[in-house]
Amino acid sequence: MQMLFQGDLGKQTPEEVRKLFWPSRDDVDEETRGFAEDLHRVATSRQAEIDKIIEDHSQNWRIERMPVVDRNLLRTAIAEMLAYPNTPGPIIINESLEVAKRYAAPESIHFLNGVLDAIARDLLKARLS
């Protein structure tokens, strides 16, 4: 989420984000870094698709009008749902809400939960059909 936030707010390319993001984080183990890189790659390469999913599930909210933290939390969670379809939706949602408690406004929690729950249900339906 922090990499997406940095790119979104700073209008940086994914390559610029990676180049600037990692040098100050030498305490991150390779597995965690790889997972973060996977999510960032999926979220940026499929951003138009992910943003459409978000807008389709968030009534009366355009993606550019959402708080920058909220939209990047949503993008990260959806990227994880797409990249790791065997990870149960409730786990991804729970992890996202824990991050939201730290970085998002308190009133965002219910919004994020509702949108992610609807998206997870629809993605599961699509996989089963």
Q: What is the DSSP letter of 65?
A: G
pLDDT at residue number 123: 87
Q: How confident is the model at residue 28 (pLDDT cuts 50, 70, 90)?
A: confident
Q: Which domain holds residue 49?
A: 2-128
Confirm if 55 and 66 have CB atoms less than 8 A apart: no
Q: Give the mean pLDDT of the chain.
A: 92
Q: With beta carbons less than 8 A apart as the criterion, state whether 42 and 77 touch.
A: no
Q: Largest Cα–Cα distance of the chain, in whole Å? A: 44
Q: Are 111 and 73 in contact (CB under 8 A)?
A: no
Which pLDDT value is given to residue 66?
Answer: 94
Q: How many residues does the chain have?
A: 129
For residue 65, the domain's CATH number is 1.10.940.10
pLDDT in tens, 63-77: 999 999 999 999 999
Mean pLDDT of 114-128: 89
Q: Based on the structure, what is the number of domains in the chain?
A: 1
pLDDT in tens, 85-107: 999 999 999 999 999 999 999 99
